[in-house]
Each structure stands twice: as C-alpha cells, then as structure tokens.
Amino acid sequence: MSDAAIVAEGLGVRFLFDRHRRPVTPALARLRRRGEERWGLRDVGFRAGPGEGIALVGPSGAGKTTLLRAIAGILPADRGVLRVGGRVTTLLSIDAGLLSPLTGAENAELLGVLDGRTVRAARAQAGAVRRATGLGEEFGRPVASWSQGMRARLGLALAEQGAPAILLLDEVHEALDHEFRAVLEEHARALLAAGGIIVAAGHDHPMLERICERGLLLRDGAIAADGSFAAVREAYVG
Amino acid sequence: MRYGRGPGRLVKWLLDPFALVGVLLILVTVLLDRPGAAPGLSLACAVVPFQLVVMTVLNAMGAVVARRSILLNLDFDRVLIPLSSACTEFAAFGASAVLLAGMMAVYGVAPTLALLWLPAVLAVTAAFAVGCAYAAALFGLWFPELRSLGLSMVRALFFLAPGIVAIEDIPSPADDWVKLNPLSGLFEAFRSIVLDGTAPAAWSLLVPLGAAALLLALAFPVFRRDQAHFAKVLG
C-alpha cells in the first residue's frame, strides 16, 4: 500500500452554467446561450503520502466535495495537474452509490463490476460483503427499505473489498449512529497504519481530529490554510 | 425490475408485447376495417423492432440521471451507460420472439429458410437501437424538459413508416420517402423473413444500418468527451 499518493498542482475544476443558471456540460454549453462560469476549485496544490489522514474543513460551498470528487476521478481537472496513486474507494454520500430498487446482493455485484471485477468475481465477493455488513437476511432485500446506517454499512463493506489505498469520506460519518462511527474510525485507523491515505470532509471536528493529523482549510475553492488539524481548525473557527 | 420480483414476472414479460400488438390489431381490423393478409403477424413484424427502439430511447433518456448515486460516488466508464440501456431492452425484446412465433402459428404461416436472415436483421435492429441510445442519453441529460417531446417524435416515426399498413399499400411517391425512415427498413425486413418467406431487400437493411452509423458517428464522440463532466450537472 506504499504506492498511495495524491499530488495536486494548480488544480482547477470549472462549472459552466447557461443563462438560466442551470449547470451544463462543455458540449451543451456550445449549444445553449452561455451564462456565468464558476471555479469550484482554484489553484489547489497539496501532496499526501502513505499513512496520512487529511481533514478538509471549511464552510459549505468551499469546494470540499468538489476536491474529493476530483481525487476520486468523478470530476476532471479542468486546469493544473492531479495525480493519484493507489486504489481509491469512496463514501461520498449516504447512498454510497447504491440503487434503491436493487437488493444489497445485487448492488454489491453491480458496484463490484463497475469497480473493474468480472461478474463471477463480483458475485463470489458478495458473500464476503454480506458478512462484513452484518445485515443478515436484510442483505437480500431491496435497499429502498434500508435505513441510512444500513446503506452506509454496505458502502463501507464494499469500500473495504480489494484492499483500497485511499479512502475518501464526505460527511457520511456525520449522519450515522455511534456504533457505525466506531466501525468507520477503526477501519480508517487500520488503513492509515497499513500506509493508506484518508481524506475526509465534514463539520464533526472531534471525529475528524481522531483520524486526521493534517487539515486543509478551503474557502471559495482555494486552500486558505494547510497544516496540523489543530492549527487549521483554529484558522477556520478562530 | 420492470416486471417485479414475484413469480408472475415471467408472465408479465411475455404478455407485454402481446398487449401492445393487441391494441393495434383492434385498431386495424375492427376500427379501420383494413385487415389485409395475416394482420396480426404483419403488425407484430413492425411492433417488435419498434418496441426495442422506443424502449431503448426511453430507457437511455433517463439512464444517466437514474445512475446519479453511482456517478457521484464512483469513477467508472460511463460510456457503457447507453449500451446498458440497449442491452436491457434487448433482453426484454426476447419476449417478442414468442409473439412472432405465436402469430405465425395463429395465421398458419410456416417458417421458411428466409428465417436464416434473422440474425442479420436482429443485428441491424440492435445497431440502430445502440445508435439511438447514445443520442437519447445525451438528449435526456441535456434537455430533461424535452424528454416527452423526444419520445413523441420517436413514436411519430412509427406512423411515418409502414407500421400499420405494409409498404406496398402506400401510394407512390410517398413509399419512396417512407423508405428513408430507418424504422421502415426494420419493419419490412422482419415482414420479408417472417411473413413473406423471402430475403430482405437491400435497402431495408442498409438504411437503418446507415442511420445507426450516422447516429453513432455524431453522438458517441460527444458522449465520450462529455461524460467526464456529467457529475457537474448531476451534483
């Protein structure tokens, strides 16, 4: 897991809007009358290496989620460079990428295939995922009937498969019960001990401090402070 | 998912195309009093490929948004999304084979060697559906408020093709214009091999194949370039 690395240099992510302020893709922007453009990330630069836990803090709309999505490869870098080494797994929403009409087993298979496994491997892995969730019979029922905590358990169990090097968390932990938070913290500490990287965004500073020694303060899409978590929190909340 | 999870889903899957042909069959044979030769089978030859195309378009128009939770949580090859819409509908389309066989039995139409053309006709139908899927996926994402209009336009293509009446019943020169509709070729190709027992005319395969190539040439490169930015619209 020592190949885990994140390098961002002058990273920028741009959002385009039409004249009605609806977000548009670049191709659609050529068809519709253009409105404003906004940079969700501006000139972001940082490096993260093995065993490093980084907390992203800042007000809503500061660019925390955008940065996590860029690291995950969900959003492209429109400017600058972003290099990510090692397998990335994500818990960027409570839904954790699950489709509600599908059962837990079907979601596990689907997300396994989308993560690059063969259908056979994803199917074989579903058993291990089921055990990891501890959801028992519920695993065979549609996710639509599950609580947020159950969905997050499946999301984390899927993230644990295939030995991730980088785990990205976006406020997911803040909506969950204490039991699951403890599970998540234990998982995060194990990953860091094994040389992985955690990047977590949120407003639950005590929990972020327990898993992240370093902090990045984001304001208006740019890094306003980078340092120890305590120093960055101080810069943010005063 | 579409047909539920219970034991009745197989029955629902099989009855779906019968229900659609039944409506049009009543229209043609009772209300319009234009029965023609084996009207149910002739209609089925049009409805079967049309269902694949229209359901693929419907599925693809909502395909990107339907996968929003995955798109915002996972990096994967989004180019596969429209293809998965077409594959899903092709699986549903399998029930139509039962419809065609049933209609052949009802009208006493014996299978001929022309059915050996079926894989080629299916391949052209699938290619056209895939071409439509990429165009529809972009259209549905870019213009969500126009999805109903888009679907209506595709449905209108059925009535601008020899769907309810065979092409030989369309007066000249309108029949030549109708051949430019890719659906006309698909309908007539199915009728040739299933109803008439003859090889499909070259135009009936080449026009939809050309349309598929054109749609893919226009939509696929745009979809591939734009897919990296889908999360910006969905997020």
Q: What is the DSSP letter of B229?
A: G
- In this structure, of A167-176, B46-55, B120-129, B174-183, the range with the lowest mean pLDDT score is A167-176
**What percent of chain A has a predicted confidence (pLDDT) above 70?**
98
Q: Of chain A residues 110-149, which have a CB less than 8 A from chain B?
A: 111, 114-115
The number of beta carbons lying within 10 Å of the beta carbon of residue A175 is 14
| Statement to judge: residues A1 and A66 lie in one domain | yes
Type of residue found at A14: R
| Statement to judge: residues A229 and A217 lie in one domain | yes
For residue A199, give both structure tokens.
């990047």
Helix count and strand count (H, E) for chain B: 12, 0
Number of domains making up chain A: 2
Domain assignment present for residue A14? The answer is no
| Statement to judge: residues A236 and A170 lie in one domain | yes
Q: Which of A124, A143, A161 is the last residue of a domain?
A: A161
Q: Which of A124, A139, A161 is the last residue of a domain?
A: A161
Pairing relationship of beta strands A79-85 and A34-48 according to DSSP bridges: unpaired
Q: What is the DSSP letter of B30?
A: I
Q: Which of A161, A196, A212 is the last residue of a domain?
A: A161
| Statement to judge: residues A153 and A103 lie in one domain | yes
| Statement to judge: residues A157 and A169 lie in one domain | no
A99 vs B contacts (CB less than 8 Å): 67, 69-70
pLDDT at A213 over 80: yes
Task: Give the CATH number, domain containing residue A214.
Answer: 3.40.50.300
pLDDT tens string B150-162: 999 999 998 898 8
- pLDDT at A71 (0 to 100): 97
**Residues B232, A15: C-beta atoms closer than 8 Å:** yes
Q: Are the CB atoms for A211 and A196 separated by under 8 Å?
A: no
pLDDT at A36 over 90: no
Binned at pLDDT 50, 70 and 90, residue B199 comes out as very high
Distance from the Cα of residue A154 to its chain's centroid? 15
- pLDDT at B9 (0 to 100): 74
**Average pLDDT of chain A?**
90
Pairing relationship of beta strands A79-85 and A5-18 according to DSSP bridges: antiparallel
pLDDT at B235 over 70: yes
| Statement to judge: residues A237 and A147 lie in one domain | no
For residues A71-91, give the mean pLDDT: 94
Q: Is A74 in a helix, a strand, or coil?
A: coil
pLDDT tens string B50-100: 989 999 999 999 999 999 988 998 888 899 999 999 998 888 787 777 888
Pairing relationship of beta strands A197-201 and A53-57 according to DSSP bridges: parallel
For residues A114-123, give the mean pLDDT: 87
Distances in whole angstroms, Cα of residue A200 to Cα of each of A67, A68, A164, A170, B30 = 11, 8, 15, 6, 67
* Chain B residue with minimum CA distance to A31: B142
| Statement to judge: residues A105 and A200 lie in one domain | no
- Residues 6 or more apart whose CB falls under 8 angstroms from that of A59 comprise A219
Type of residue found at A119: V
**Domain assignment of residue A134, given as a range:** 99-161
Q: What's the complex ipTM? A: 0.86
B76 vs A contacts (CB less than 8 Å): 114-115
pLDDT at A222 over 80: yes
- State whether the Cα torsion A133-A134-A138-A141 is positive or negative: positive
- In this structure, of A94-98, A102-106, A114-118, B181-185, the range with the lowest mean pLDDT score is A94-98
- pLDDT at B2 (0 to 100): 67
B9 vs A contacts (CB less than 8 Å): none
pLDDT tens string A147-193: 888 888 888 888 877 778 999 999 876 767 777 788 888 889 999 99
Domain assignment present for residue A171? The answer is yes
